[in-house]
Every structure is written in structure tokens, then in C-alpha cells.
Chain A
Amino acid sequence: MSSTVLAFDRVTNLRGDRTAEAGVLAGERSAARVGEAIRFEGVRKSFGDREVLRTLDLDIPAGQLVAIVGRSGGGKTTLLRLVSGLALPSHGRVLVGGREVNGLQPSVRLLFQDSRLLPWQRVIRNVGIQRRPNWRETAEEALAHVGLADRARDWPAVLSGGQKQRVALARALVSHPRVLLLDEPFAALDALTRTEMHELFSRIWQEHGFTTILITHDVAEAVALADRVLVLRDGQIALDIPIDLPRPRQSVGSAEAARLQAHILGKV
């Protein structure tokens, strides 16, 4: 199923009228939504004496794109690590798709600020890192999906920052994640590339329907991408608002977007 979608999308890429087709694709996929709900129940996390998250209760419905903004050290990355299973809560529990997280989750994928590609493997081998059966074909499809079909044989070192992040995204897509966690993956990119990545990512998110938590410092980015914005301050949720702007959203924000941004900034 998904491989036909990938193939279909490659055709639309070639034709270059992505936005028109993306809506059709998203509609087609809606029947097979893959996202999983995420739930925090009384979660606390401390490192030694320092309490990073204090009694967090949070419900993220399947398929939602939540942005979490907040200052450095506010517990954002810890929250992602708890969902991925890279860290376990000190108290309370984290549920993904109704199952308690007690280790690494095969259905959860992470994108980091640095792309974390293996520099000694060519792009195609990085994307197919899991070496599942037919990994080469699926990796090629995923690369085509992010518009990098022609860079499969390159070393990661020759790619630009944005291209590296697109390869990392393709690598995550290969394993059909139900939850995709983004730890500021666009922060190190220049403004133009970042806007491109926003468009690419919202298109892919709409097609695949995975649940997403996006961590960012950039309030404009949060408003441009998310269904809902959370402000995390001193390990607690200081603000939780829905973003009811129509999609696809413009890179230059509307008056409503500007109002939301100002409101969020006031709480950070």
C-alpha cells in the first residue's frame, strides 16, 4: 500500500505540481491513518536532584502534530526521549498507542538537529540502515519521496544541511513510523531551506498520518506547522492552544498567525 503511494508521489514530483496532488493523496490515505496516540500520566523525570519534568499529564490524539516550544533546559528534549524509550520516567508512565513505554519503540522514530547520518556509508545505505529485505528498493522509494532520488550514491559529506535532513527523514520513513519525533531538525538550516523543509514535512505528515511531536525554539515554525502548540516552562505546561489555521499554510503568516505567535511568545 505505502509503496504504491510512494511510487505515485514520485510521479507527481516529476510533474512538479506537488501541492495540487498532495491533497488527493492525503484524502486517499485518511482511511489508513497510522498514527498512534501518546499519553503522559503523572510523569516526573529527574536527573539526580534536578527535576526536569514535574507531574506532566498530556494527551496527544493519533495523527496530531504538536509543537512544543520553550527555553533551553525546559525539559523539551527529555520529553521526547521519554516517548522514544531512550529514557524512562522517574514516576508515572508514558503510553504510546496504549502500550506503556519501557524501552526503545520500533514504531517511534526520531529526527535530530544534526542529521546523524553515518559518514562512512553512502546515502542509500544510510536510508536502508535496517537492512530489511528489499531495503535497497524501499530506500530508493523513500529518497524519491523526499526529492533526492539522484543523490543515492553520494557520500553524506557532500550534501548540504537541508539535504542531510531530508535523507534523515527518508531513513525514518522507511520504517513506516507511527510516531515521528522531531528534535529541532530545522533549527540549523538557513531561512529559505527551512521554509522548503516545512513544506516538504507537512506534505509528508499529511500523507502518512503519523503522530508528531516537534520541538522548536521558533514560535513562527510552531504556528506554521502544528495543530497545537504547547509551551513547556520549568518542566510544566504553561500553555496549550490549538492552531486552527487552514492548510496548506503560507510561509508568510496571516494576521491570525501573527496574533497566535505573539500570544505564545508571551508565555515562553
Chain B
Amino acid sequence: MNGAAILARLRSIALSWALPVFILLAWEVAAKTGLITARLLPAPSSIAAAFWRHLLDGSLLEHTLISTSRALKGLLIGGAIGFAFGVINGIWRPAETIFDSTLQMLRNVPHLAIIPLVILWFGIAESAKVFLVAIGVLFPIYLNTYHGIRTVDRGLIEMARVYGLSPLDVFLRVILPGALPSILVGLRYALGIMWLTLIVAETISASSGIGYMTMNAREFLQTDVVLLGIIVYALLGKLADFVTRLLERWALSWHPSYRPAGAAA
């Protein structure tokens, strides 16, 4: 890259950041001059201050860790069940006949609609949140695993059989890698649902976690903390998405459309 190209690139980066920076500045000025009520929408600087305060007293980290651990537990449980059903139904017809229509029916129940039932069953214990997340991520993982396995090139499976690969080898070396692009799409989709479910569950019933922190702050009219919680959720979602992208790039490096630009051929 030569000097002019770097300059042009910097210019385009600067241009794309111009509007957000302008909005932030305008917001700050408007809040400080009383044009908007700070109680309803505090200035960015006071959100930053709230961030610093909660970081120093350790509560931000604690709540974030609790939320993340709930999210990951739910993902692990729901994802494992969805993956298992996807694999079994994908490779074994009788299982598909028995389970698929039931799963498709359950899928149509909005999982957030069962929150009252979940509270009746589990109260507001940890298991309630983990259960909801697990139900939420189960279906995207199931559907995409099942679909991925079903659409693996039959010719490749036949070839592997002709070459004498054992059924386990056919699964591990042909079916699973062939289904992986679809499974990872399901995972990304599931991560979105994971955070969404957790936000709702923590907001409704919790005594810790980011959702609790924001609801608690609402009671004391600490709007800056509410906004901080929203931003933390957004960052956690972004982080999860980033990690899956890395995973995709690593696992699908053979795939022409996942190869980083410039490395082709």
C-alpha cells in the first residue's frame, strides 16, 4: 500500500466515523445545556462516569460475569440438545419421523411466552434463566444442524463408502465437515437469541446480572446506569459475533467464500 492509498483509506474511515462523533457531541452539548432532560437521557460523559464508577467498585465485572455464565450455560445445554437431535434426525430416518414434527410444533411456540410458566416452575432461581436460554438456542441449532446434514453431497458419502471408510469415519470426515457451514450459521443465530432471551429473563426476574443492574438503576432513576447496561449488552453481543466469525474463518478455511480476501488461489 502506498502513501496515497493509506491517505485515502484514512479519509474514508474518518468520514464513516464523522456522523457518530457528531451525534455524540451534539448529545453532550444538548444534555449539558439542559436542552434535553438529563434524567431521561444523561450526557455521554455521565454514562462514561457511571461506567468508571461501576468498574472501580467491581460490580460491573461481577454482573457481567454472572450474565455471561448464564448465557454460556444455556447455550451449552440447549446447543447440545439441538445438535444431538439435528444429527440423529439428519442421519437416521426413523428418528426424523418420530421427532421432527414434534420439534417443528414446539419451535412455533415463542419461547419468551413461557416465562410465566418458567417462573412458576423454577421461581427466579438461576435455573429459570438458563432454562429459557437453552430453549431459545435449541431450535436454531437443531434446524441448521439438521439442514446441514441433510444437504451434504450424497456423492461424497457414496465415494467415502466405496473407499471403505467406516460409518464413524464417514460421519466425522464427510458428513460433519459438510454440515459445518450450516451449523455455524445456526450458532450465530443462536447467539443473538441467547443474549435477547437473557436480557428479557434478567429484566423480569433476577437478583444479579446486567439485567438486574439496569432494573435496579431504573428504580433509583439512575438513567446513566440503565444506558450503561444497554451498552454492555450490545458489546457482549458484538463480542460473541466476533468470536463466531473467527471460528468460521478457522473452521471453513477450505471454503472459497470464507477465505480472507487476497489469499485466494
Contacts and interface: CB of A to CB of B under 8 A. Distances in A.
B254 A112 contact: no
Interface string A170-197: 0100010000000000000000000000
Contact of B165 (A116, A129, A155, A158): A129
Contacts, number: 48
Nearest to B178: A120
B155 A112 contact: yes
A69 to B, nearest CB: 23
Contacts of A104: 161-162, 164
A98 to B, nearest CB: 21
B254 A121 contact: yes
Contacts of B158: 86, 116
Interface string A65-93: 00000000000000000001010000000
Interface string B149-168: 00001011011111111000
A109 B159 CA distance: 10
Contacts of A112: 155, 159
B162 A157 contact: no
A175 B163 CA distance: 9
Contact of A120 (B164, B254, B264): B254
A237 B155 CA distance: 28
A106 B164 contact: yes
Nearest to A108: B162
A254 interface: no
A114 interface: yes
B123 interface: no
A129 B254 contact: no
A119 interface: yes
B264 A119 contact: no
A156 B161 CA distance: 20
A118 interface: yes
A200 B163 CA distance: 23
Nearest to A130: B163
A123 B43 CA distance: 58
B218 interface: no
A110 interface: yes
Q: What size tier do the contact residues of chain B reach?
A: 20 to 34
Q: What size tier do the contact residues of chain A reach?
A: 20 to 34
Contact of A110 (B162, B178, B256, B264): B162
A133 B160 CA distance: 18
Contacts of A118: 156, 173-174, 177
A86 B163 contact: no
Nearest to B177: A120
Nearest to B180: A120
Interface in A201-244: none
A116 B254 contact: no
Contacts of A119: 254-255
A155 B254 contact: yes
Contact of B156 (A110, A116, A157): A116
Contacts of B264: 158
B23 interface: no
A130 B164 contact: yes
A120 B172 CA distance: 12
Given A118-B177, A129-B165, A157-B255, 17 more contacts: A104-B161, A104-B162, A109-B162, A110-B159, A116-B155, A116-B158, A118-B156, A118-B174, A120-B178, A120-B254, A121-B254, A122-B254, A130-B164, A155-B254, A157-B254, A158-B264, A171-B163
Interface of B: 153, 155-156, 158-165, 173-174, 177-178, 180, 252, 254-256, 264-265
22 contacts: A84-B162, A104-B161, A104-B164, A106-B164, A109-B162, A110-B159, A114-B155, A116-B155, A116-B156, A118-B156, A118-B177, A119-B255, A120-B254, A121-B173, A121-B254, A129-B160, A130-B164, A130-B165, A155-B254, A156-B254, A158-B264, A171-B163
Interface of A: 84, 86, 104, 106, 109-110, 112, 114, 116, 118-122, 129-130, 155-158, 171, 175
Closest 10 CB pairs of A and B: A116-B159, A120-B177, A120-B254, A157-B256, A155-B254, A116-B155, A158-B265, A129-B163, A119-B254, A130-B163
